[in-house]
Amino acid sequence: MGSAVAPWKSLLLRALESNGQIKHSKFLQLATIGTNGRPSNRTVVFREFEEGTDRIHIYTDSRSRKIEELKNCPFAEICWYFTDTWEQFRISGRMEVVDASCLDATKFKQRAEAWSSISPKSRMQYLGPSPGLPHLAEQPAKEPFLDSYSGPVDAFCLLVFDPDQVDYLNLKSEERNLFRAIPSFGGEKLWETERINP
């Protein structure tokens, strides 16, 4: 029998709270499939859960390599380790890219709200040179201007990660559970839990 409420979400929220005094507790690794078919991994920042769901929001630069990879193959995996509580979450799912070309009104609004939630310093990063390209020694003559009242710049991208499997490991208690999303007749995502060996 499945549960409509993601049972792993409360474990993750508790881990975030228990490790909240550690700045890097919001850092997680995001793995995608590179356009060459090889794994591609990087560290990103957890921003929030989408309200009323188990979907995870991440902000990134639309010019980064991960965007091309996700548009080529939307499947990804997160690995999150909490050092104080010795808990690991490996979360598999599908990533939706919400960029400047998005026409969906709800997603458009989410992207604008995400933009307004970040600091002016963070916003300025999206006006810099394209990530991953060779560094040019000459710098621009003046700092780029950013109107604090305007909406997101084109380079700002909201990633919405929709989990379908979570492998949870607690190294202190030696407990390991596998949570899997199962389809239901109403289209709502249900979760089943299986205890597995650590």
Per-residue pLDDT in tens (0 to 9) along the chain, 198 residues: 566 789 999 999 999 999 999 999 999 999 999 999 999 999 999 999 999 999 999 999 999 999 999 999 999 999 999 999 999 999 999 999 999 999 999 999 999 999 999 998 899 889 888 888 887 776 665 566 666 567 899 999 999 999 999 999 999 999 999 999 998 877 788 999 999 999
Question: What's the rounded Cα separation, in Å, for the pair 157 and 96?
Answer: 10
Structural domains in the chain, CATH included, are: 7-128+151-195 (2.30.110.10)
The secondary structure of 37-85 as a DSSP string is SSEEEEEEE--EEPTTSS-EEEEEETTSHHHHHHHH--EEEEEEEETTT
Model pTM? 0.90
Which of 42, 48, 35 lies closest to 160, judged by CA?
48
Helix, strand, coil % (nearest 5) of the chain? Answer: 25, 35, 40
